[in-house]
Amino acid sequence: MPLYESLFFIRGKCQPTEIVSSLTKAAKCVTSNGGVIRQLDNLGKRPLAYPMKKQKQKSRFGFLYRFRSECAPANIISLDRLLRLDENVIRHMTTKLNPTKVLNDIIPQENPVLWNADRTTINSVQPKGEENRMAWLFRHDKTTTASTTESKTSPADAFGDRISSILSKLKKPGDEK
């Protein structure tokens, strides 16, 4: 399957639950029909070049996310439609990558970011030199066994649970002491 990179801005005024729901929808779309998410990066909160309007809401900044995934071209078409219709996604772009150039920059890890029970040879990847930047996303419990990875929940649901647990640990603006 070809390797794709999807970049998208999520509105800066979104609640963490809305961000998780948008990421989970995108992950489900990519992982359907055997697709695999190889890398997910939260590139942070970025100011936009100019104020953008979508659904009558003006945004001056947004959260930038990057998916690197292997999936069928039909999944990319459905991902494009999903991101276009999602009210929280301001802008998005998907490009096809040359795997030889990208795979030289990444190193395999023990467990995948998202996995399917049908595909056992999937490895997640992490960019070289960015070990600490995304460590919270790639960190897996050491107690994970084969029986827990074969649960009946879909990989995208597990991904959404993981993101929501991470976001719940973050400080909220009103929680300062």
| Helix, strand, coil fractions of the chain, as percent rounded to 5 | 35, 30, 30
Q: Each residue of 114-145: pLDDT tens digit?
A: 544 544 333 444 444 445 444 544 454 444 44
Q: What global pTM score does this model have?
A: 0.58
What band does 41 get if pLDDT is binned at 50, 70 and 90?
confident
pLDDT the model gives residue 144: 45
Domains of the chain: 3-171 (3.30.70.60)
68: pLDDT strictly greater than 80: yes
First-residue to last-residue Cα distance in the chain:
50
49: pLDDT strictly greater than 80: yes
Q: What is the dihedral of CA 154, 123, 23, 72, to 10 degrees?
A: -80
For residues 23-62, one letter each, b for 16 or more C-beta atoms within 10 angstroms of the residue's C-beta and e for the rest, the string is bbbbbbbbbbeebbbbbbbbeeeeeeeeebeeeeeebebb
SS3 157: helix
Q: Each residue of 75-119: pLDDT tens digit?
A: 999 999 999 999 999 999 999 988 777 666 555 544 455 544 544
